[in-house]
Each structure stands twice: as structure tokens, then as C-alpha cells.
């Protein structure tokens, strides 16, 4: 697997890099989700060769048009070593092409195990070096400290699961402590504090520790006293397009934070237009215009 250095200025914080990418290319993040059905629909084989062809076509469509690519790690893991080889390749290729990469691996553990995960995904010189990683705080937010430390060390970012779009998530995320504060609210506040601690020269840029907040559930934040604008956290919003949320849903749900903090992920809505390159690029441009 490749371990070449990324082309980006790695000493610049993830928050600053993300803000620049959004200013240049807009708030669309394309989800690189090689779901079995997508590969079949594209006429590709269910193996590493099909996976590699899929990734090459998506990367060609994204380069120069969007600022962020989010590979869903599970769809690469299912092919074993060969699938992870393709993931390593495409992440390095994407970063060399100027895209930021968010590895959607949802890692969560304690102590040295969490540190191992974080080093694997956030070291820019590693096989799976990404700009940011999705993480789960449900062993307690403090369990993420090794990942926060790795993000600081490597100038990377984290997106912490906070208010996800799956209905069963609300059983945990909207549970309240004796003071009436929801779990999601506690996570948001802790992320804001962790992000602020990483900013050395606050010029109003985005933080490097963000939240995952579903496009269809963002409206629950205001209903439950969760301040998504606090700390200028980047907010990764899956659920746009094929999963049911439109641009107005996003604007209404995120309110004032939508304009500068929200990065909107679209996977099936874009990938469903493939494999034709023109159709993929047209879908990207239409989504960018729709999201504003």
C-alpha cells in the first residue's frame, strides 16, 4: 500500500482546509459508497477490479468540482485485503487531486485501542491517511481523547456522531441527564470545547472537531435545546437526496448554522446517475446549485 505524502499543506488545520474547500467548491460532499447494488447497476464485478473501476470514475467526476470525498469504509472492508488496498489507493489519489477525504469508519474504543485507530486513519503518511475520521462517542466522550490528540498532532479532523438520522438513535441521543440535558447536547458541548482547545489563532475559522447531524434530524436540535452554532463546528449532514431530505429541509433544520458550518453528504443521489461520466458530473453540479 502507498505511504506517499499528501500534496496538501498538512500543517494547516483541518478546519481551515475545510473552510477553504467549501468556499471554493460549495458545501457538497460526495459519498464514495460502492454498495453492491450500485456496482451491479453500473455493470461492474463484485470484486476489487469492479471496485477500482467504480472509484476511478467517481474520482474523475469529483476532482475539481467538489471539495470533499467521503469513502464508506465498510463497503471496502467487505472485499478484504484487496478492498482495503483499493481504499488506500483512492484516498491517496483523491488527496493528490486536491480533495479532502473523510474516512467514514465510525471508530470508537478506549485507551490504546482508540489511539491505534486514530493513528491508522489520521496519520497523513499512513496507508489509510485521511483528512478526517468519523468517530463514535458512545463509550463516553472522554474515550475520544486519543483521537483528539491524534487530530491535533496530524492537523486532522474528527466528526463525532451526535444526532444521527436513524430513528433508533434517538433512544440514546435524546435521553436526558438529571439536569435535563440530552446526550446529543452533551456531545455537542464537549465537541465545541475540544475543538476550541485546538484553535491557536482564532480568526473565525471552522473548528477541526465537528459533529455528524442527520439532514432529516437537524430540526430536533432546536427542539431539545442543542446549540449547533456554538463553536463554529463543522457539521456533516448525511441524508440529502435519496434519503429524503431536500435543500429546504436542511436550511430549516440547521437554521443559522447552515450557511457556514454545514457540509452536506450525498451518496446514492449522485452515484445513482452513473456510470456515465456526463451524468455523474451533471448530478454533482445540480446538487451544488440546489444546496447553495
Q: Which helix (H) or strand (E) holds 220?
A: helix 219-223
Q: What CA–CA distance (Å, rounded) separates 194 from 117?
A: 19
The DSSP bridge partners found for residue 103 are: 133
Q: Which one of the listed residues 48, 56, 96, 106 is annotated catalytic? A: 106
Q: What CA–CA distance (Å, rounded) separates 151 from 198?
A: 9
Exposed / middle / buried, residue 287 (Cβ in 10 Å: 0-12, 13-18, 19+): buried
Cα dist. 289→110, 207, 236, 275, 282 in Å?
41, 25, 18, 21, 11
The three-state secondary structure class of 6 is: coil
SS (H, E, C) 225-277: CCCCCHHHCCEEECCECCCCECHHHHHHHHHHHHHHHEEEEECHHHHCCCCCH
70 is catalytic: no
Q: What CA–CA distance (Å, rounded) separates 72 from 258?
A: 24
Tell me which residues are annotated as active site: 106
Amino acid at each position: 500500500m502507498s505511504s506517499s505524502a499528501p500534496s496538501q499543506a498538512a500543517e494547516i488545520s483541518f478546519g481551515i482546509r475545510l473552510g477553504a474547500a467549501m468556499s471554493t467548491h460549495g458545501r457538497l460532499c460526495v459519498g464514495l459508497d460502492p454498495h453492491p447494488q450500485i456496482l451491479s447497476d453500473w455493470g461492474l464485478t463484485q470484486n476489487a477490479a469492479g471496485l477500482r473501476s467504480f472509484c476511478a470514475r467517481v474520482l474523475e467526476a469529483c476532482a475539481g468540482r467538489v471539495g470533499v470525498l467521503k469513502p464508506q469504509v465498510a463497503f471496502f472492508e467487505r472485499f478484504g485485503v484487496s478492498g482495503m488496498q483499493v481504499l488506500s489507493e483512492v484516498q491517496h489519489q483523491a488527496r493528490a487531486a486536491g480533495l479532502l477525504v473523510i474516512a467514514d469508519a465510525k471508530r470508537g474504543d478506549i485507551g490504546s485501542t482508540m489511539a491505534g485507530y486514530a493513528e491508522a486513519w489520521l496519520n497523513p503518511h499512513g496507508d489509510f491517511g485521511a483528512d478526517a475520521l468519523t468517530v463514535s462517542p458512545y463509550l463516553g466522550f472522554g474515550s475520544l481523547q486519543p483521537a483528539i490528540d491524534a487530530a491535533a498532532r496530524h492537523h486532522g479532523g474528527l466528526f463525532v456522531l451526535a444526532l444521527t438520522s436513524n430513528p433508533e438513535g434517538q433512544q440514546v441521543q435524546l435521553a436526558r441527564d438529571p439536569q435535563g440535558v440530552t446526550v446529543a447536547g452533551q456531545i455537542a458541548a464537549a465537541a465545541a470545547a475540544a475543538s476550541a482547545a485546538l484553535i491557536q489563532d482564532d480568526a473565525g475559522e471552522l473548528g477541526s472537531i465537528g459533529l455528524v447531524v442527520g439532514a432529516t434530524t437537524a430540526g430536533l436540535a432546536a427542539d431539545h435545546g442543542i446549540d449547533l452554532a456554538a463553536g463554529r463546528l463543522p457539521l456533516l449532514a448525511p441524508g440529502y437526496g435519496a434519503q429524503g431530505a431536500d435543500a429546504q429541509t436542511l436550511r430549516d433544520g440547521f437554521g443559522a448554522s447552515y450557511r457556514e458550518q454545514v457540509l452536506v453528504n450525498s451518496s446514492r443521489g449522485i452515484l445513482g446517475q452513473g456510470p456515465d461520466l456526463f451524468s455523474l458530473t451533471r448530478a454533482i453540479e445540480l446538487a451544488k446549485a440546489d444546496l447553495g
